[in-house]
Amino acid sequence: MFRKKRSSKILGSKGEGLASDFFQSLGYDLVQRNFRTRFGEIDLILRKGQEIVFVEVKTRKDRGFGRPEESVTEVKQQTIRRCAEAWLQKEGLLDGPYQIRFDVLGIILRDGRPPEFTHLPFAF
């Protein structure tokens, strides 16, 4: 059990690094990775122009349990919204000039193949 949880954490961390590179290649600036609050965590916080993007990254080795991006439940979405509000408040941006967006990035990492990305902008 411990080994499975550890390997999931390693896979997730690798996926977040790939996601950061993916978004930076699209012109986004990484503001913060793994922002944690008492409510939960946001994987990536990005900025591009007047837009702040909160990203949930889901990484899998295959599609055996469905597409990774499909696993972002309503409960997880609510958690991310709460965390985003906490971050915006901490940064003094609750009433700021920024547009806010919530994205999901699904990543499939199969051995010997390039990563497969599925980006869902404005996911919720």
pLDDT at 2: 52
- pTM comes to 0.89
Q: Which residues contact 87 (CB under 8 A, 6 or more apart)?
A: 32, 35, 37, 42, 45, 54
pLDDT digits (tens, 9 = 90+) for 61-119: 987 888 999 999 999 999 999 999 999 999 999 887 899 999 999 999 988 899 999 99
What are the chain's domains? 2-120 (3.40.1350.10)
Lowest mean pLDDT among 9-13, 36-40, 69-73, 76-80: 9-13
With 90 as the cut, is the pLDDT of residue 30 above it? yes
Report how far residue 72's alpha carbon sits from residue 20's, in angstroms, rounded to the nearest whole number: 19
- With contact defined as beta carbons under 8 Å apart, do 88 and 47 qualify? no
3-state DSSP assignment of residue 120: strand
